[in-house]
Amino acid sequence: MELLKGKTAIITGATRGIGKGIAEVFAKNGCNIAFTFASSVEKAKILEDELNQTGIKAKGYQSDASDFDAAQKLVDDVLEAFGQIDIVINNAGITKDNLLMRMSIEDYEEVIRVNLNSAFNLTKAVVRPMMKQRKGSIINMSSIVGRKGNAGQANYAASKAGLIGFSKSVALELGSRNIRCNVIAPGFIETEMTEKLDPKVVEEWRATIPLKRGGTPEDIANACLFLASDLSDYITGQVLSVDGGMYT
């Protein structure tokens, strides 16, 4: 069964890791996909071709959602190309880790700008079209770090905790228009980024997780699939931890 047949999703930061996993699972479920990327033009082209081969319509856009005007333009372009926007996944994010006493104001502001402002900009841009069609699902990607904090990640934790408060407010504002807004908080997800870590460190992390393994992009994508589909029609303003039991 194709749970998203006929729907169109915008997924930010989709050329690798979690974003790519979401795009692939959504495509398998009949969803047309507009995805954004920052600089990986080649990877974006490969992904666009791969998704189109599944029989849905997919298009990559080089766009920076942390730029207010760029987010507005993206939504206009997607509406022109696809005719509708049913789902938004605010997934794009960065880290610039350091202990607070060593963290520069630039690194703090950059992480807040990319991780938090992007979600505000894109959500604001899709509100009117979603209100017009009286339906929509917005999913914001937080983190276990946004729920419990983490030493050396004060900037990242602040941005991800901010997404939770933002999403709950959006859910309250837009619920009467049948627009839902939820949050996914991934735990330790194994992607291209974690492959660069010391294998011993990765093993230690796995040992602390009740399910005894790191998550996969597909684990996150399946949770997104549920929140994007009509199966979750009566769910809004919620934070779903997908972390193998790390945060309970």
**Which element (helix H / strand E) includes 182?**
strand 179-186
Residue at 1 is within a domain? no
Least Cα distance to 91 among 175, 130, 33, 5 occurs for 33
Question: How confident is the model at residue 10, as a pLDDT?
Answer: 98
- Structure tokens belonging to residue 157: 């934790």
Per the structure, the count of domains in the chain is 1
Task: Indicate whether 2 belongs to any domain.
Answer: no
Catalytic residue selected from 61, 108, 156, 247: 156
What pLDDT score does 23 carry? 97
> Structural domain of residue 203, as residue ranges?
8-237
Quick check: is 156 catalytic? yes
Task: Quickly tell me which residue has 């699939």 as its tokens.
Answer: 225
Which CATH number does the domain housing residue 21 bear?
Answer: 3.40.50.720
Q: Specify the 3-state DSSP secondary structure of 35.
A: strand
Instruction: Answer whether residue 134 is part of any domain.
Output: yes
Give 5's strand partners: none
User: Residue 245 falls within a domain, yes or no?
Assistant: no
Strand partners, 182: 139
CB-side neighbour CA atoms (13 Å) of 27: 25
How many whole angstroms separate alpha carbon 58 and alpha carbon 61? 10
CA distances from 229 to 49, 55, 61, 232 (A): 24, 19, 24, 6
> For residues 195 and 23, what is the distance between their CA atoms, to the nearest angstrom?
21
29 belongs to a structural domain: yes
Cα 248 from Cα 238, distance rounded (Å): 15
Whether 121 is in a domain gets the answer yes
pLDDT tens digit at each of 248 positions of the chain: 799 999 999 999 999 999 999 999 999 999 999 999 988 899 999 999 999 999 999 999 999 999 999 999 999 999 999 999 999 999 999 999 999 999 999 999 999 999 999 999 999 999 999 999 999 999 999 999 999 999 999 999 999 999 999 999 999 999 999 999 999 999 999 887 777 778 888 888 899 999 999 999 999 999 999 999 999 999 999 999 999 999 87
- pLDDT for residue 215: 93
Burial class of 248 by CB neighbour count within 10 A (0 to 12, 13 to 18, 19+): exposed
**246: in domain:** no
3-state class of 8 per DSSP? strand
Strand partners, 54: none
